[in-house]
Structure 1
């Protein structure tokens, strides 16, 4: 017999909450409802505020995607084929700043690049996700500009991982990782490596 999953967020009454907490509850309910039944995306509350509402989430994507390329030290050099490497399983954090949902306080979305012991773990190779440098894992999604909810962001990132959505052209809005964007334009598209799900 099929049973409906009881959503943890339903223990809260929005009428008893302040404006910010009401928005946090709304986002939580949207995420629970929208991801219920998804086998390829799971959500865990990572941190809560003093009222018990989530201010950070861990999103697990159980999707096959590109996690790097062969011969990365010779990326896009003449005569070098940088074939994609794949992984299944990526972890993304969503952190909500104290003044979220103000326009100047968008959520921070970033993929983990190391596990709890500091060992490297696969993170996405995508022009709209930073792969190299100090900000590796950072997701460029422009949620503040579109006034969208967190569920939209989580689903949008899934489309990034499947390469259904990407922006690799060197024009506004610019790609988050220019090296990966150059690889997409020079090798990924021409050799059809980014069309692995089609």
Structure 2
């Protein structure tokens, strides 16, 4: 047996591990908007509106830092996201009353439910770098389509993903509301 081959396995394992960690870290991958099949977002409220990805990209946009932690402690970010405020999208179908709930869902069946305060970026859990809970700075909930200046990669929830952003890169939010592959947002009146 040739000893050189045995030494190659640990090196290969290290390179593969580094690659996997880099992919898990955030906004890596390429995804031009032309790479996606036609993607529509359905907004339901007092009316129903269907928007294409191009129409969403033409709306007034906001930018901020998104940094999340999963339920098992994996961190994603910080990255700079660009997208449309969830409140602006909901305004197109009648807005959100204080007692309403907003259901954000994806084709894979994942769904997250927000109350009116959370839609405005309030009453969300925030953490510091040591994952200690901190008082929440101003937050915004957006439907993101860009990450670090590039179209949101499919591996990172693209073409449309819900993201909680702040003005600084050091605020970590709970990752559960960061719905990937968003295709439907519905206001349910109570």
Q: Which has the higher helix share?
A: 1
Normalised by the length of structure 1, the TM-score is: 0.27
| TM-score normalised according to structure 2 size | 0.27
- The structure carrying a bigger strand percent of its residues is 2
Higher RCO by CA contacts (8 Å cutoff, separation 6 or greater): 2
